[in-house]
Structure 1
Amino acid sequence: MKRESNMLPVMWNKSGKKCDMSISTFTKERTSEHHIMITPRGINNFYEQYQVLKEALLSFILERGKKNCHLIFQRIFFSDITNQSEIISEVDMLKDNGIESTISWIQQPPLNHVKCTLYAYLIETEDFIKIDHTLTPKHIELEKGSYSHLWSGRLISSESGDSYAQTEEIFHHYDLLLKEKAYDFAEMCHRTWLYVRDVDTNYQGVVEARNAYFDTIGLIPSNHFVTSTGIEGRDLDVKKNVVMDAYAVKGLQKEQVRYISALSHLNPTHEYGVRFERGTAIDFGDRRHIYISGTASIDNKGEIVHPNHIILQADRAMENISALLKEEEANTDNIMQMIIYLRDVADYEIIEKYYNERYPNTPKVIVLAPVCRPGWLIEIECIAIKSVNIPAYPNF
């Protein structure tokens, strides 16, 4: 894709002997954001597949220079995390080269016949930034200009328990961390991902614990919630029923954040007992970040649209995403990355063809991950960036 006058992301694919890399880059005002998906190819052994992912990401960073290109967040999708966990801890050539980031490990098997796929988010800038790696391996804080960005990965409870107790503890500990760093959860946490082992059984406990926590901090229907995905996913520790990743920003004015609803297409989530925003837009002086929650084939009455029809559900889910993006004067051309969750592995080939035909250059991964409502066969989340010019706000 060529760069357009309205500064759409530049997307490209790179195929080598050992892996495919799909990259979207948004560049403005001396700062680029890279969203990358890396998938091994032609290799059967897990150790070699995992090594290739890390080597490819390391090469990308070194080509741009470690001084200016900063790895912020990695999420790695595994096919069998319990058996792969020992190797995961052995292979880390990024860290060996002095490159650290927040990292999320989750069992959501990639459906393109590989054992692991890597998603990475990087910032490349000539401006001065400060990165704090000392919080623990689970967190990274990036300070750039007027803003501080806190990325957190693989937040788990310290003990075993049911999904309610584990979710309650995760939110409690995350809240303590935010307060230590002078963040406020209600106003500064803008994205969460909740991975639930056996989602059909354990999701209700997650919902109830989150609702109870939100009550204590004033995140109620008359106020706002947090953009979120709640989906099947497994941690390497078999006793953990819930894992959370999160993103918070400090330094924003209240007017810089908007919560997206697309009420022509979707109903408020609290109407069916859950609490999350359909999407959140954050304005910086030079760009608008748009975070879209896991979105399925649903209408504005909360009903499933096109039961038992995977392609029509995919159509409706993308129609809903387009409606959300339109509220922020964006469209699917602005999407930087997609994660596509399928309930049934038998739907993979038809969905792969669907997305490759419609969004051939957008970095994406299709994984096996049952959605929280059995009738939904597919769910999609994404991140979009749109160019803006708002002198009242500092640039990203």
Structure 2
Amino acid sequence: MNKKIQFVNGDVDIKIFAFTSENDFDEYMCMFTVTNTKLTFNQQVTQLLESYKKLTTQGYSKELPNLHQAEICFKRYYLSDISNQIDELKSITGQEDFAVSIVQQAPLKGCKICMWTYMMTNIQKEQISKNTYMISHHGYDEIWTTQNTAEGANSYIQTKKIFKKYAKTLRKHKCTLADDCIRTWLYVNDIDNQYAGVVKARNEVFDEEGLTENTHYIASTGIGGRDTCSDIYCKLNALSIRGLNPNQKHYLYALDYLNRTSEYGVRFERGTYIDYCQRRKVFISGTASIDHQGNILHIGDIKGQVNRMLENINALLHEAQCNFNDIAEMTVYLRDIADYTVVKEMLIEKLPDTPLIIVHAPVCRPGWLIESECLALKNI
């Protein structure tokens, strides 16, 4: 059963997608947004953490009776100025016992920080390396890894090292990129100049790992995003799942609306869905205003690009027998912050109750003004 709920706790707005099931494995996507932009960074972080604590320990038992039993398996902080905020954030949160992603993608609501938490019930959690946690449940092991970076003179060298290191980690736990990796996020500093190196490195690693157009690729988002140091050009977050059979994994194409990414030299799937634990989980990659021949549509027209982007996402969801009501979380990336008000109003109309955030992050092709990714859940 899917349920979307919104709470307000002081200066924090909380939107929740709750997926509850009969097999005692519930999932919760929660987006926390600070509404009082006059607060200091310290105050905003404190408000977020207090709202999370209240949400999971008191006050909402009637609407979400099992939420207090859920544990965080993954959290992402969206920061407005990571270099000046990271130390203070860590001093407030301390060591967090789950996979934590931190990226500079300024929330366009006007606050300094937003927080997305992904929680599950009845899981076992184990830290298997510095930035990697294994979440075990019902015979499956979800491997969440975050904050993966590497040294190197450019994005090509760094990305190659990052993917090779990640592939090595997976093999250590009897997994491979080709068989078990479901989703990646690549945050690219100075994406207009550094994205080509990221693409080249990923293509080479995929060749080595047996990921081809005739097999499959991996759902992914490659987007502008900064780490603390300006010479970190690429950072990887990823999800792999051990225990899935090939017939539980499916790839989405929507070829009447989109082309294969390999046709223009990039390698990722438009979307992937998995069927397990009496549910369908759909990972929609970063999707923009593009047609089935790879052309950018509505150049310079933000409204036109939003409509086409949503049309493409809807086509991918439809291929997975889902719709907008099944979207559990959406992240929207804007190249130009001046487009925020228009985009916000359009998305509120289409997705009024969905946990959603709009952030400032340049898209990988300058002609694209907007890109979005989402995760959907439904019963099967």
TM-score range, shorter chain: over 0.9
- Aligned-residue offset at 1:62: 2.8
* Alpha-carbon distance in 2 for matches of 1:362, 1:62: 23
* Residue among 216, 220, 232 paired with 1:240: 232
- Residues 164-217 of structure 1: per-residue CA shift (max 9 Å, x gap): 000001001111111111111111001000000000000000000000000001
The aligned counterpart of 2:42 is: 47
The answer for unaligned runs of 5 or more in structure 1 is: 1-6, 389-396
**Which amino acid in 2 is paired with 1:133?**
Q
Give the Å deviation of 1:133.
Answer: 2.4
Which residue pairs with 1:77 in the alignment? Answer: 78
CA distance in 1, matches of 2:379, 2:66: 25
The alpha-carbon deviation at position 67 of structure 1 amounts to: 7.8
Q: Which residue of 2 aligns with 1:91?
A: 92
Query: Which residue matches 1:118?
Result: 115
Which of these residues, 294, 304, 313, is aligned with residue 312 of structure 1? 304
Match of 2:29 among 9, 14, 35: 35
Deviation at 1:237, TM superposition (A): 2.4
CA RMSD in angstroms comes to: 1.4
Q: CA deviation at 1:140?
A: 1.1
Shift of 1:161: 2.0
Gaps of 5+ in 2: 59-64
The answer to whether structure 1 residue 145 and structure 2 residue 138 are counterparts is yes
Would you say how many aligned residue pairs link Structure 1 and Structure 2? 372
2:61 is matched with none
Query: In the alignment, is the contact (CA less than 8 A) between 2:81 and 2:106 conserved in 1?
Result: yes
Per the normalisation by structure 2, the TM-score is: 0.95
Give, in whole Å, the separation in 2 of the partners of 1:66 and 1:381: 25
**For the structure 1 residues 65 and 262, does the alpha-carbon distance in structure 2 shift closer, same or farther, using more than 3 Å as the test?**
closer
Deviations 1:287-330 (A, max 9, x none): 00000000000000000111111111111111101110111111
Farther off after superposition, 109-118 or 58-67: 58-67
2:12 alignment counterpart: 19
Distance 1:18 1:345 in 2: 23
Q: CA deviation at 1:285?
A: 4.1
Q: Deviations over 1:241-279 (max 9, x none)?
A: 100100000001110001100001000000000000000
Percent identical: 39
Within 1, Cα distance between the matches of 2:9 and 2:242? Answer: 40
Deviation at 1:57, TM superposition (A): 1.8
Which has the larger displacement, 54-63 or 209-218? 54-63
Give yes or no for contact 1:82–1:238 (8 Å, CA) kept in 2: no
CA-to-partner distance for each residue in 1:26-75, whole Å, 9 max, x for gaps? 11122211001101122420111112122222332334789831100001
Verify the 8 A CA contact 2:138 2:277 in the aligned structure 1.
Answer: no
User: Which residue does the alignment assign to 1:180?
Assistant: 172
1:104 paired to 2:101: yes
- Pair 1:265–1:381, CA change in 2 (3 A): same
Q: Secondary structure at the match of 2:20?
A: strand
Task: Measure, in 1, the Cα distance between the counterparts of 2:334 and 2:26.
Answer: 31
Q: 1:31 aligns to what SS in structure 2?
A: coil
